[in-house]
Structure 1
Amino acid sequence: MSELTTTRARAWALRRADGAVLGFTDHDRDLAFDGIAFRAGTGMTASAIVQGTGLSVDNTEATGALSDAALTEGDILAGLYDGAELTIWEVDWTDPLWRRILFRGSLGEITRLDRAFKAELRGLTEPLSKAGGRVFGALCPAVLGDATCTFDLTQPGFAAEVPLLAVAEGGAVLEIAELPEFAADWFVDGAARFLDGAAAGMVVPVRREESLPGRRRFSLWSAPGFEPAPGDTLRIEAGCDKRFQTCRLKFLNQRNFQGFPHIPSEDWLQATPRIDGPNSGGSLTHG
């Protein structure tokens, strides 16, 4: 395409986690190919693409303004673009049949910059640089309520839908009614789901719980992307600290526990025999 320098443009296709496909171009007019409409005037740009050989990771980033109707701050904050598949083409805008792929990969970390954003672009080999496989440990790797845990959080006693009474620190601190039917710290390590209002659809894990006169206060690990308001509906779900005792006593779900509670610790693996030790030949877990 070297002879087409004056008619070249770039086109981006994003495939989000929810299946939606969005197209953008740095040309001054919309383009279309492969059944995708690539919209102009979105402010999307990309730095020079550095493509490595072997298993080295391709490196580039994209920036854009949050002005396009399809690219909203709310969708970014809701995580719809996390890990989204991305393809970048160099295309002859006079005849889009003439094109070549410059980059194929996914979106990495997204940083908000006032009314704009910056996203790290990760190449196809990036997943190969991560450790894989199952981790064997005493704690359960499952997420409460997922397919491996199988616990049903909709059954009575494990969640409540209540209106917010007070909001502080941008939504990182919430207060609701007392809920005397739930034990203290019942929701620590659980989930705060915002069902309506500005933060509708967002989920934030619960860090800490406090009892106040007639109220409960929750401190979340972070504020939601948009600040909720008193009166918004919150669904608060029971928390799990991943320990076998919690799985057995709180959820009666020990048959589906995915951890290994009796696995020797790293300290034991590094220990050496001692003359003053028990040295009884008994079980490591039962004496």
Structure 2
Amino acid sequence: MKTLPPGLQESLASGATTLCRCWKLVRADEVLLGFTDHDEDLVFDGVTYRAASGFTASSIDQSLGLNVDGLEVQGALVDDALNEDDLAAGLFDNARITVLLVDWRKPDNRIILFAGSIGEVSRGEVQFSAEIRGLAHALNQPRGRLFQRSCDADLGDTRCGIDISGGAYHGTGTVTQVSDSRSFRASGLEAFASDWFSRGRLIWETGANAGSVMEVKVHDLVSGEAVIELWEPMAKGIATGDAFAVTAGCDKTWRTCRERFGNGDNFRGFPFMPGNDWVTSYPNKGEGNDGNKLSG
């Protein structure tokens, strides 16, 4: 049970309440934003809570135990506070959010109603809707390693051990022709074979998407020029002349780790784990019954 500050308790007991809700949001890039459903901006604790955002929220679903509490908020896509480009760029993904009940006459009279993070976000032409998840949501995330055939390390991390900053695993290019918001041709990658950058990371260095990161779906080499398709469309348009850096990709299989990267000793999967075909197999007569290992 929450304990109300004396001033807020008196306001509620008076019968003529002057309450509003405020939302303090910290994006992935640590930019702090404030919103309120009051009809005027409020300022406290050094944060301006803007009324022009059109923020509204559903009731808060809270329960005892470790169930994930939540609510849904909606708002307008307006100027520098909330806009389509920032949402599409993922700046609000997993953003930290705090919901407060505030007496707008005396903002010091307030209480935290809810704290959590932003989950699934859907966007329309002029508004957005976001799912807000409680702090217990973090307890639902997988922890530890999975027993699986594929590698669970990321290419270039400490568990993998490959230095992808070297020239063999890192390239830079410039867009020469744009097909759509996720497909284009580029120069500067002629020395790399087809598929080398598939599943790799592409970082835009110039242009409207500068600083944005996207995973490469397909990398091909056609007539001496790289053809790249990204997994998702970029938030802003790709233009001829945009420069980018890209790192090699890995499909996390034992064969790729051993043959392409020569890194079999650091493979973080279980490539010889028996599958369903082994479970359903049965004894038979013929060749291959010499007691040797089944693969490798």
- TM-score of the superposed pair, with normalisation by structure 2: 0.86
Q: Which residue of 2 aligns with 1:253?
A: 263
Q: Which residue of 1 aligns with 2:187?
A: 177
- Give the Cα separation in 2 of the matches to 1:231 and 1:253: 36
- Give the Cα separation in 1 of the matches to 2:188 and 2:136: 50
Question: Is the contact made by 1:178 and 1:211 (CA closer than 8 Å) also made in structure 2?
Answer: no
Q: Does 1:100 align with 2:106?
A: no
Q: Which residue of 1 aligns with 2:4?
A: none
Q: Which residue of 2 aligns with 1:263?
A: 273
How far 1:208 moved relative to its partner? 1.9
How far 1:52 moved relative to its partner? 2.9
Residue-by-residue CA offset, 1:230-255 (whole Å, 9 max, x unaligned):
11112222111111222233223333
Which SS does the other structure have where 1:205 is aligned? strand
- Which residue identity is paired with 1:257? F
- Which residue identity is paired with 2:165? T
Which SS does the other structure have where 1:247 is aligned? helix
After superposition, the Cα gap between the structure-2 partners of 1:102 and 1:80, relative to the gap in structure 1 and judged at 3 Å, is same
Which residue, 49, 52, 57 being the options, matches 1:38?
49
After superposition, the Cα gap between the structure-2 partners of 1:252 and 1:83, relative to the gap in structure 1 and judged at 3 Å, is same
Which SS does the other structure have where 2:17 is aligned? helix
Question: Is the contact made by 1:14 and 1:87 (CA closer than 8 Å) also made in structure 2?
Answer: yes
- Give the Cα separation in 2 of the matches to 1:131 and 1:279: 40
Q: Which residue of 1 aligns with 2:172?
A: 161
Q: Tell me which moved more, 277-286 or 74-83.
A: 277-286
- Give the Cα separation in 2 of the matches to 1:155 and 1:108: 36
Provide the aligned length of Structure 1 versus Structure 2.
284
Q: Does 1:225 align with 2:235?
A: yes
Which SS does the other structure have where 1:246 is aligned? helix
Q: Tell me which moved more, 205-214 or 135-144.
A: 205-214
Q: Tell me which moved more, 19-28 or 270-279.
A: 270-279
- Which residue identity is paired with 1:155? G
How far 1:5 moved relative to its partner? 5.2
How far 1:169 moved relative to its partner? 2.2
After superposition, the Cα gap between the structure-2 partners of 1:216 and 1:93, relative to the gap in structure 1 and judged at 3 Å, is same
How far 1:281 moved relative to its partner? 4.3
- Give the Cα separation in 2 of the matches to 1:110 and 1:14: 14
- TM-score of the superposed pair, with normalisation by structure 1: 0.88
Pairing 1:191-206 to 2, within 5 Å after superposition: 191-206=201-216
Q: Which residue of 1 aligns with 2:283?
A: 274
Which SS does the other structure have where 2:236 is aligned? coil
Question: Is the contact made by 2:193 and 2:221 (CA closer than 8 Å) also made in structure 1?
Answer: no
Which residue, 100, 112, 117 being the options, matches 1:89?
100
- Give the Cα separation in 2 of the matches to 1:115 and 1:76: 12
- Give the Cα separation in 2 of the matches to 1:34 and 1:281: 73
Structure 2 gaps of 5+ residues are 1-8
How far 1:28 moved relative to its partner? 2.4
After superposition, the Cα gap between the structure-2 partners of 1:13 and 1:267, relative to the gap in structure 1 and judged at 3 Å, is farther
Which SS does the other structure have where 1:117 is aligned? strand
How far 1:70 moved relative to its partner? 3.7
Residue-by-residue CA offset, 1:109-161 (whole Å, 9 max, x unaligned):
11121132211111122233444432121211122223332322221122221
Q: Tell me which moved more, 66-75 or 23-32.
A: 66-75
- Give the Cα separation in 1 of the matches to 2:84 and 2:248: 29
Question: Is the contact made by 1:13 and 1:87 (CA closer than 8 Å) also made in structure 2?
Answer: yes
Q: Pairwise CA RMSD of aligned residues?
A: 2.3
Which SS does the other structure have where 1:155 is aligned? coil
Which SS does the other structure have where 1:125 is aligned? helix
Q: Which residue of 1 aligns with 2:18?
A: 7
Q: Tell me which moved more, 210-219 or 190-199.
A: 210-219
- Give the Cα separation in 1 of the matches to 2:206 and 2:276: 46
Q: Which residue of 1 aligns with 2:6?
A: none
